[in-house]
Amino acid sequence: MKGHVLSASVVVLSDLLTGIEITSRLDITPTEYADLGTMDESGRIREFTAWTLTSPLEAEAPVDEHLTWLLDTAAPANNRLRGLIATEQGSVRIEVSVAHVGPHRMTFLNDVLQRLADFPGHFWLTAYAGESVE
């Protein structure tokens, strides 16, 4: 395997809203959420809610297909996402992590780049390179 997508998600963080409140405002069912004030895996109390919508596509699917799925799914809520940001009730981003072996070119088609530019939040891309991808 030359490379694959480790994760591709829309993430909303809020220190004011619960996961249920974010879900209600966006009218999108998340993959998961963890509420502020609850305990995380390490025993610490969460200082913010983390609401996550993760691409269900196979890891081997191209990055632009994961992005397209996320952008299509989030598009009906773009104005509501902007509202969360404008009222400082949440921060919004798309996070993608990829792993690859050796030199690997990632191509983002113009239409995907334009849609990312129109998305209300930030875009984070993390690429890992190594001897093998497991």
Which pLDDT does position 131 carry in this prediction? 62
Q: What is the mean pLDDT of the chain?
A: 90
Listed as ranges, residues in the chain with pLDDT below 70 are 1-3, 102-104, 131-134
Give yes or no for a contact between 92 and 50, defined as CB atoms under 8 angstroms apart. Answer: no
CA distance 117 to 78: 12
Which pLDDT does position 133 carry in this prediction? 47
Q: What is the pLDDT of residues 74-85, one digit of tens each?
A: 999 999 999 999
Handedness of CA 46, 56, 125, 87 (dihedral sign): negative
Which pLDDT does position 42 carry in this prediction? 94
